[in-house]
Amino acid sequence: MPDRRLLRLNKTHKPARLTRRQLLLAGALLGFGGLVWETEHLVVTRHRLEVQGLHAPCRVVQLSDLHRSWCVPENFIARVVSCTQRLNPDVVLLSGDFVTSHSSYIASCARQLSRLHPPQGMYAVLGNHDYRCDQWQGAPAVQEGLQAVGIQMLTNRSQKLDCGLRLVGLDDCETGAPDPDAAFGRLTPGEPLLAFTHNPLLFDVLCGFPCVTLAGHTHGGQIYIPGVTPLFMDERARYLRGWFQKPQWPGRMYVSCGLGTIAIPARFNAPAEIALFELVPA
């Protein structure tokens, strides 16, 4: 069976801390200037998925880890939104970490996201930074800021789209309370599914569900040098970026590199990513 102990991760896990070696490495990399400032370069990754039971094609954009803060300005979020508009998505999924430390930043983040008007809606779940902001008091403000501009929270809930696809949102497994039984509880057998959550470690549970799961959280390492431990990476995380599937289990997962940054406004070999999934009937 999939490992359901991950549902209790929030009770035992402490956030990863940067080592002195990692901080020195970050400082050294900053000296390379343009090589590191991949925050300014947006990459659109495109993925075509054939989905059984889908009534019509559906274009899904995933935006993750916007991290609006002092080092992620509003004009960067505006660029992300403008690029997303050009992709003409039918639905936009927002997989958490809208802010880094302070909920006051959600107003400007939500203001830019409100420029998106996908015909089948925008849906969100919260990430660990959303829960931890304002000394663990800011999550309600983040959620209210998103809902104020028409973004629907899909925390441990599902939503059926006109194309026949059912979206399933799950809470963060580090700081929230994911409940797959509630999230997947209204399903019809054979119904096409697309799940999303913040932390990819939840895939150790979700791998048993017959669907694709979208996640973020890792920033693709943010500062990533092959052979070296990624700078901003939970040492226990096994899913850095890209596609994953466990042998003998039906589920698959895609982990986005995300968009914003934490600690330093820099990326290396982990460019900011907008992920487009083109779902077509199988």
Q: Which residues contact 30 (CB under 8 A, 6 or more apart)?
A: 36, 264, 266
Q: For residues 259 and 131, what is the distance between their CA atoms, to the nearest angstrom? A: 19
Give me the pLDDT at residue 30, please.
53
Residue 155 CA to residue 124 CA, distance in Å, equals 8
Query: What was the pLDDT predicted at 147?
Result: 99
Residue 19: predicted pLDDT: 58
Between the alpha carbon of residue 174 and those of residues 51, 178, 182, 230, the distances in Å are 30, 9, 18, 19
CATH code of domain 4-9+16-281:
3.60.21.10
pTM above threshold 0.75: yes
- 132-169: b (≥16 Cβ within 10 Å) or e: bbbeeebbebbbebbeebebebbbbbbbebebbbbbbb
Cα dihedral: 131, 136, 138, 142 (round 10): 0
Task: Please report where in the chains the tokens 């009534």 appear, as a residue.
Answer: 55
Please list the pLDDT of the chain residue by residue as tens digits (282 residues): 565 555 655 444 445 455 555 555 555 555 555 445 566 789 999 999 999 999 999 999 999 999 999 999 999 999 999 999 999 999 999 999 999 999 999 999 999 999 999 999 999 999 999 999 999 999 999 999 999 999 999 999 999 999 999 999 999 999 999 999 999 998 888 899 999 999 999 999 999 999 999 999 999 999 887 777 776 666 556 899 999 999 999 999 999 999 999 988 889 889 999 999 999 999
Looking at residue 225, its pLDDT comes to 79
The residue extents of the domains of the chain are 4-9+16-281
pLDDT at 249 (0 to 100): 96
The C-alpha atoms of residue 69 and residue 48 are separated, in whole angstroms, by 33
